[in-house]
Amino acid sequence: MKNDKGEGRLQTGSAARHRIRRGPRRFTISMQKRLMVLFILILAAFVFLGFRLFMIQRDNGRSYTMQVLSQQAYDNKTLPYKRGRITDAKGTVLADSQLVYNVIIDAKQMLEKPEYLEPSLDAAERLGLDKEEIRTYVTDHPGSQYYIARKNLPYQEKRNFDMEVAEGIEKEEAAQREQEAAVKKAEEEGAEIPKTDPVELVYSNIKGIWFEDNYIRTYPCNTLAADVIGFTAGNSDGAYGVEEYYDDVLRGVEGRTYGYLDESLNMEQTTIQPSDGNNLVLTIDANIQSICEKYLKEFNEEYKDNKHKGNGTNNAACIIMDIDSGGILAMASEPGFDLNDPFNIDAVAGMPKLDEEDTPTSSYLTLAEARNLSDADKTRYLRTLWNNFCVGNHFEPGSTAKPFTTAAGLESGTLKREDTFLCTGQLLVGDTWIKCAHLEGDGILDVAGAIERSCNVALMQEAAKIGNETFCKFQNIYNFGLRTNVDLAGEARTDGYLYTADAMSEVDLASNSFGQNFEVTMIQMITGFNSLINGGNYYQPHVVDRITSAGGSTVQSNAPRVLKKTVSEETSSMIRQYCIQAVEGDHGTGKLARPAGYRIGGKTGTAETLPRGNGQYVVSFLGFAPAEDPQICIYVVLDRINKKKQDEAGRACQVTRKILTEVLPYMNIYMTEPVSDEEKLELEELGLYDTNERVPEDEE
């Protein structure tokens, strides 16, 4: 080293000695011996392990292989859950999951001994399988242990098979015991051993057939409330209706079996049981529902193939709602479909043909055409069939909107009940003449008379007083344009079919006042009307009353929910009176809707479809019953009746009358009005009139 002057310096002492001892180390013989010993020990351990594995494979390899394969084949499987049940308000089962079985073939076990094959194939044949097909499969796949040979074997067939096999095995075992007892007795007595043929084992040799639990969705009432319930498709996914809306509620959780090897290398099994889905209890009453469907179907059949080949209407529908809860007691539409066979294409025969945008045309589909549709077109038509008209379709409401217009005026103070209007048969709005339904004119009408006579001119004058801002404000209050959030899949929005105040012209306001030039859904109309009648309470419409667990306890209750106040009790009372007058008044348009023995209120509707002048109409009746103490609202819509003259709202009234004639007595709502002799005969034919009962008579 050098000092700070750059001169070299010699190191002495311990430092120098330490540097000298750092010379390169040598791999000594002792170290080599130790490394060799370690290498030999490691090599010996690997040799011993390899030998041990060889011995295990030689002595137990087949056993372990079978256990692993068995574990793969049987013990890592899902166990199906039971989808929740759907019942009506009184417990009638509308949808359930039925236990069925998949028939599984274990070819390996079936071939384990030669004597197993034929008895097992014979048994498979008794389960509805093709014996030779199973023989071919078993022969071609000798190692297979899981083959689904048949799906959805009914419980009764499995039970019969199990009983037959169990009884057969018992007889064979009894025969064997009898032979063994005879031999033992002879040996004890020193007698000659009896010579007998071995017992032929047939049932005892049935191997390789077992059953796997499965569930299929069934609908005991077939077509009843099809639009409300929906169905399941594919891997039990809910489609349409409450099956789709409450899919996560109805679904359960799959179970699973797991296989594993214990300390003795024996296979053990752990099972996690499935958790079944929750149940739905609907507000729908199956009896009320069936009454609605009966008369809609009757109407469809009456007008079928009338003006043209096809259904009696494009759509015929009815909703009945509980007035003090928003619970839907019935929701029906025609044409319907069978929930147990929803893909039956025959059901679309008679429907309007669809254009490329799935819009109905004026041509109608024949049965032959329906059956010859391409797969893509079948899907389009079936989707149209499955769609719930009551929540998924929109249309112009026509004059059923007039009570809403009047209520908006009364509630806002822009209209007074004593106001009068002159109808000369038409009204000039801007530079457009708009006609009334009564071209001769209705003369001077008050607010009540405008509803009774369904006068367009009076309603246009009302709307002019109300003004754009207030009119549009109340349309929003009534929830027009918005979803009601009814608990059903597929509810449509109609906000794109309403005007905003700044975009509404004089003509738009005038036509909107009597229900044209804007569109609604049935569920929007009846829910809003319900609030006009019940004192102004806008209830959340719903079809599910409560959710219960698989064990039956209540999980969730859908209590009635008032979302907002639409009008005051005073306004509601006036609207009720005006609607009663529309049925009972001398000039009332809803006279034909009144059922024998009852007073009701309501409003008819007639709306010409687009394009104007095509002669096609949607007619309707929107009402409530009974008049004195309203308990239900009812809405009947007939979309383009198969008749040359379609603009007859009286036909919707007649359907309403038939439905209420049966529904009101069923609901224990008693008659309060006189019954004519003609009405008595009508009621007797329906089994609804008993001469021993005290029913009001017509006064002389």
State the average pLDDT over residues 114-131: 94
Q: Are 620 and 397 in contact (CB under 8 A)?
A: yes
C-alpha separations of 497 from 284, 475, 476, 504, 638 in Å: 30, 12, 13, 12, 21
Biggest distance spanned by C-alpha atoms of the chain: 151
Q: Distance from first CA to last CA of the chain, Å, rounded? A: 145
State the average pLDDT over residues 531-549: 98
3-state secondary structure 455-466: CHHHHHHHHHHH
Residue 60's pLDDT band, with cuts at 50, 70 and 90, is low
pLDDT of amino acid 634: 98
Window from 175-189, 315-329, 387-401, 685-699 with minimum mean pLDDT: 685-699
C-alpha separations of 417 from 450, 472, 571, 610 in Å: 11, 21, 10, 34
Considering only CA atoms, which of 652, 568, 562, 645 is closest in space to residue 602? 652
Q: How far apart are CA 38 and CA 391, in angstroms?
A: 84
**Statement: residue 6 has pLDDT above 80:** no
**Statement: residue 19 has pLDDT above 50:** no
Residue 353's pLDDT band, with cuts at 50, 70 and 90, is very high
pLDDT of amino acid 243: 98
Q: Are 582 and 574 in contact (CB under 8 A)?
A: no
State the average pLDDT over residues 186-211: 84
Name the H helices within 111-266. Answer: 114-126, 131-140, 155-189, 226-229, 241-245, 247-250
pLDDT of amino acid 77: 76
Residue 161's pLDDT band, with cuts at 50, 70 and 90, is very high
**Statement: residue 184 has pLDDT above 60:** yes
Q: Which residue type does 83 have? A: R
Q: How far apart are CA 65 and CA 668, in angstroms?
A: 72
Residue 202's pLDDT band, with cuts at 50, 70 and 90, is confident
Window from 268-277, 370-379, 453-462 with minimum mean pLDDT: 268-277
**DSSP 3-state helix, strand, coil percentages of the chain (rounded to 5)?**
40, 20, 35
Nearest-5° Cα angle at 447, 446 to 452: 95
Residue 8's pLDDT band, with cuts at 50, 70 and 90, is very low
pLDDT of amino acid 685: 84
Percent residues over pLDDT 70 in the chain: 90
Percent residues over pLDDT 90 in the chain: 74
pLDDT of amino acid 17: 42
Eight-class DSSP state of 540 = P
Q: How many CA atoms within 13 Å lie on the side-chain side of 168?
A: 15
pLDDT of amino acid 172: 86
Q: Is 611 helix (H, G, I), strand (E, B) or coil?
A: coil
Considering only CA atoms, which of 539, 552, 541, 487 is closest in space to residue 87? 552
Phi, psi angle pair for 77, to nearest 5°? -125, 150
State the average pLDDT over residues 451-470: 97
Q: Which residue type does 325 have? A: S
State the average pLDDT over residues 485-513: 96
Nearest-5° Cα angle at 325, 324 to 327: 125
pLDDT of amino acid 15: 44
List, for residues 512-528, the tens digit of each pLDDT value.
999 999 999 999 999 99
State the average pLDDT over residues 361-377: 96
Token code pair at residue 521: 């859904």
**Statement: residue 318 has pLDDT above 90:** yes
pLDDT of amino acid 20: 43
DSSP states of 272-339 as a string?
Answer: E--BPPPEEEES--HHHHHHHHHHHHHHHHHHTTSSSSS-SEEEEEEEEEETTT-BEEEEEEES---T
Query: What mean pLDDT value characterizes the chain?
Result: 90
Q: How far apart are CA 172 and CA 166, in angstroms?
A: 10
List, for residues 31-44, the tens digit of each pLDDT value.
777 888 888 888 88
Residue 266's pLDDT band, with cuts at 50, 70 and 90, is low
- What are the residues facing 351 on neighbouring strands? none
pLDDT of amino acid 10: 40
Nearest-5° Cα angle at 115, 111 to 118: 80
Considering only CA atoms, which of 366, 431, 395 is closest in space to residue 619? 395
Q: How far apart are CA 508 and CA 435, in angstroms?
A: 14
C-alpha separations of 506 from 351, 542, 630 in Å: 38, 37, 36
What are the residues whose beta carbons fall under 8 Å from the beta carbon of 601, sequence distance 6 or more?
533, 576, 577, 579, 580, 582, 583, 623, 624, 625, 627, 630
**Statement: residue 369 has pLDDT above 50:** yes
Nearest-5° Cα angle at 529, 497 to 405: 60
State the average pLDDT over residues 55-64: 60
pLDDT of amino acid 270: 83
pLDDT of amino acid 261: 56
Window from 23-32, 232-241, 650-659 with minimum mean pLDDT: 23-32
**428-460 burial: b if 16+ Cβ within 10 Å, else e:** ebeeeebebbbeeebeebbbbbbbbbbbbbbbb
List, for residues 383-430, the tens digit of each pLDDT value.
999 999 999 999 999 999 999 999 999 999 999 999 999 999 999 999
pLDDT of amino acid 2: 44
Q: Which residue type does 302 have? A: E
More confident residue, 637 or 48: 637
List, for residues 62-100, the tens digit of each pLDDT value.
555 555 544 444 456 788 899 999 999 999 999 999 999
Token code pair at residue 281: 């209890």
